[in-house]
């Protein structure tokens, strides 16, 4: 299976049927929390077609993470998806 390079939120594809991909970033405090947030977001948006779920990524440390201790998101997951409203046009 080949995948075409794209920019999130931009149109891409061949002359036959272009698609518009969008990216959604989900933040969480740990792996379990971010996966729960991802599942919640996907259940609230059943009309979207998920193209790719990126692996878990640790967010860079900042002053906010030092001050907020465990109440600040430390990991994220990016989800590339195709919006159903745009795909049907």
Strands (E), the chain: 11-12, 19-28, 49-53, 57-58, 75-82
pTM of the complete model: 0.67
Answer whether residue 4 is part of any domain.
no
Domain count, the chain: 1
Answer whether residue 6 is part of any domain.
no
Per-residue pLDDT reduced to its tens digit, 45-60: 998 999 999 999 998 8
Question: And the tokens for 26?
Answer: 């989900």
Q: Range of 28's domain?
A: 11-87
Q: How far apart are CA 13 and CA 6, in angstroms?
A: 9
Residue numbers in the chain where pLDDT is lower than 70: 1-18, 84-89
Cβ-contact 75, 37 below 8 angstroms: no
Question: And the tokens for 35?
Answer: 């996966």
Answer whether residue 2 is part of any domain.
no
For 26-56, b/e burial (b = at least 16 CB within 10 A) is bebeeeeebeebbeeebeeeeebeeeeeeee
Cβ-contact 73, 13 below 8 angstroms: no
């Amino acid at each position: 299976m080949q995948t075409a390079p794209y920019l999130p939120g931009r149109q891409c594809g061949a002359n036959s049927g272009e698609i518009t991909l969008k990216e959604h970033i989900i933040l969480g405090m740990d792996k379990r929390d971010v996966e729960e947030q991802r599942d919640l977001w996907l259940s609230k948006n059943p009309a979207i077609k998920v193209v790719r779920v990126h692996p878990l990524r640790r967010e860079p440390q900042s002053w906010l993470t030092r001050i907020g201790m465990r109440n600040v998101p430390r990991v994220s997951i990016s989800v590339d998806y195709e919006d159903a409203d745009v795909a049907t046009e």
